[in-house]
Chain A
Amino acid sequence: MAEPILQLANVNKSFGPIDVLHDINLSVKAGEVLCLLGDNGAGKSTLIKILSGVHQPTSGTILMDGKPIAFANPREASERGISTVHQFGGTFPLMSIGRSFFVGVEPTRKWGPFSFYDRRKANEVAVKAVQEFGITRIEDGDRLVGGLSGGERQSLAIARAVHFGARVLILDEPTAALGVKEAAHVLRIVLEARKRGLAVIFITHQVIHALTVGDHFAVLIRGALAADFRRGEKTREEITDLMAGGEAMAELEAEIEAYQAAHEGRAPGAAELR
C-alpha cells in the first residue's frame, strides 16, 4: 500500500479553554477521496484550517509523505501542494477568468524594459485548463468570474489548483450551495481530480454526495473522530444516523459522555469507541 501523502497523528486543537479537536488521526493517499462528514460545529472547518496552514495544531503532528511538517501560514501549505477551494470557489467575482486564474502568478511578456501582463496567454491557459475538466461552456477568458454559475466557479477553482500543481485538494462544502445538476458536475470534477492522482479531502454534510465519490470516510462529532471507515462498510442510513441524531447518535453521545466522565473530560478517539 502506498504511503499517505498527508497524515494527521493525534492532532488536538484548542482555542484557549475550548477544545475543538481531540486526538484526530486521519490520512489520505494519492488518488483517493477522503470524505469528511459532520454536522455544523463538529470541527470540520477547524480541521480544514489546520490542514491548510491557517491554524497550527495545539498538539500532535502533521505528516507529509511520512515526514513531520508544520505550516506557518496558508502560503507555505500551498507551496507544499495543499490547495483549498472554498464554498464559492472564485472569490474575485469582478475579475476576468484569465486574471483570477493567475492571481499572484501572472504570466508576463517583456517589451523593452517593461513587462506586460500577458492577457492572451492567461486567458488561453485558463480556458484550456477549465475545459479539460469538462466545462466546455467556458470559452472566453475575458468573462467575469461573477457571471459564472456556482458549479462553473468551483470547477474553475479546482482546475486552477490542479494547474498549479496541487497534490492535496481540500474542498470545503463544494456542493452545499448548488442545485442537483451543478452538484453532479462538481462531483464529476472531483473524480477527475482523483483520476489524475490527487489526494482529495472532500468536506460535506450531504451523505449522498460523499457516497458517490468517496473511497474513505471520516465522521466528526463534537471535535472527535466518531467513525473512520472505507467505502462499502456502512450504508447511507448508518452514516446519516451517525452524523445527525437518530438512535445511533443518542447511543454514541451516551458513550462519549460516559467516556468523558471516566477520563476527566477527555473525548474518546475513534478506536476506543468501536
Chain B
Amino acid sequence: MFEITTTRHNHLIDPILHAWTWQIPVYLFLGGLVAGMMIISGFFLFRGRHKEESCSCFYLPYISFIILSVGMLFLFLDLEHKQYVWRLYTTFQITSPMSWGAWILILVYPILLANMILRVPKSVVKKIPKIEEFSKKILEHKWAVKNIGIINMLLGAMVGMYTGILLSSLGARPLWSSAVLWMLFLVSGLSGAAAFVHLIAKNDYERKLLAKSDNGFLVIELFVIAMMIIGLLTSSSSHMAAAILLLNGPYASVFWVFVVGMGIVIPLFIQLLAVNQKIHHTPIAPIMVIVGGLILRFVIVSAGQLSHWF
C-alpha cells in the first residue's frame, strides 16, 4: 500500500489542479473555429472564388472578427491580474508559445481586415464612400487577392496550431505531451469551421465542397487522436496513465460517447451518406461536429490537469 499525505491545500492547485476552467476550452474552441474559417476563406480567395458573388470568402472574415474577439475576451477573463495584460505587448518571449499566441492574435486583426475590405457593408460605405472604390480596386488585382488569401491561410494555420504547441510544451501535464497535439487542434478547428460554413454557405458548390472536406478532416482527426493515444501508451508510465484517463478512466464515457462518437464517427457516417446522395444533407451532422469540438477541448483541458508525473 502506498499512502501519501500532504499539508498543502492551495486554491486551484489542490487536491486536483484546476487553474484553467471553462474560459480556456471555450477560447480554444472559438480560436479553432476562426483558424478554420480563415483557412477556408483564404483558400477560396487563393483559388479566385472571389469572382463568385455569393462566395463565403466575403462574409467569413466578419464572423471570424467577432468570434475571435469573443474568444479573446474569454482569455482576458481567465487572467488573474487583468490590469497588467498590456505586459504581453511590451516584450516577446521566444520560448513561450503563449507569447507567440499573444502576438499572432494581434497580427490576425489586420489580416482579417485585408479580407474584410474586399466587401464592405453598405452602412460603412455610406459613411466612407471612398472605401468601395478601394475595395473594387483590390478585387481587380488577382495578385493582391491571392496573397490576401495566402496570408489568411497562414495566420489561420498559426492560430490553429499554436494552442496545441502551447499545451504540448507544458510537460508537467503528461496528457498534453504529444507531438501531434497541434495537428489535433488544427484539424479539429478545420472540421468545425467546415461544418459551420457548410451550414451557412450561400451556394451549393460550397455547401457540397465543405461537407466533403469536413469528412476528410474528420477522418484525419480520428487518425490524429489515435496517434496521440498510441504515442502516450508507448511512452512513460505517467503518460500511459494519462491516456488511460480518456480510454478507461474518469473521462472515458465523455471521450468515447461525445468526443469520438457524437463529434466524429456519427456525423462522418451521416455526412458520407449525404455526399453520396443516399440521404439529404442535414444540419444535425455539422452541429454534432461543432459541439463535439467544444467538448473535445473541455476534455483535453480538464483531463490534462488531472494528469501528472508520478
Pairing of A with B: no
Q: List residues of chain A with CB under 8 Å of any chain B CB.
A: none
Report B's interface with A, CB cutoff 8 A.
none
